[in-house]
């Protein structure tokens, strides 16, 4: 019985790590796709329909970049680097 428990815990840990690794890779792929879509939308000149992004852009343009990044992260659930890059793209668009 004790031997079975000793084998189960490492296997559960390995399984959890594997699932977490896959989720992280999928999140990175989604973030890359979103960045590409943002660039395509920008290139085509499609107007921004999200009022939240307008507020984030205003924050960034008024020198409140940290608040803009935080607001972007809350809106999208992106990581810090992805949010920082997105806010910088919003600023350069205006």
pLDDT in tens, 47-73: 766 778 889 989 999 999 999 999 999
Contacts of 79 (CB under 8 A, 6+ apart): 27, 31, 73
Q: Name the pLDDT band for 1 (thresholds 50, 70, 90).
A: low
Residue from 82, 86, 75 nearest 42 by CA:
86
Q: Name the pLDDT band for 30 (thresholds 50, 70, 90).
A: very high
Instruction: Give how far Cα 36 sits from Cα of 10, 17, 31, 56, 90, Å.
Output: 39, 29, 9, 20, 14
Q: What is the predicted pLDDT for the residue at 25?
A: 93
Q: What is the predicted pLDDT for the residue at 94?
A: 62
Q: What is the predicted pLDDT for the residue at 54?
A: 85
For the chain, the structural domain boundaries read 1-46, 47-94
pLDDT over 90, % of the chain: 40
């Amino acid at each position: 019985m004790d031997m079975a428990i000793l084998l189960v815990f490492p296997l559960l840990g390995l399984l959890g790590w594997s699932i977490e690794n896959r989720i992280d890779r999928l999140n990175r792929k989604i973030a890359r796709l979103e960045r590409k879509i943002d660039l395509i939308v920008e290139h085509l000149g499609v107007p921004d329909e999200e009022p939240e992004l307008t507020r984030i852009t205003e924050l960034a343009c008024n020198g409140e970049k940290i608040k803009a990044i935080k607001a972007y992260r809350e809106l999208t659930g992106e990581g810090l680097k992805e949010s920082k890059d997105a806010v910088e793209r919003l600023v350069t668009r205006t």
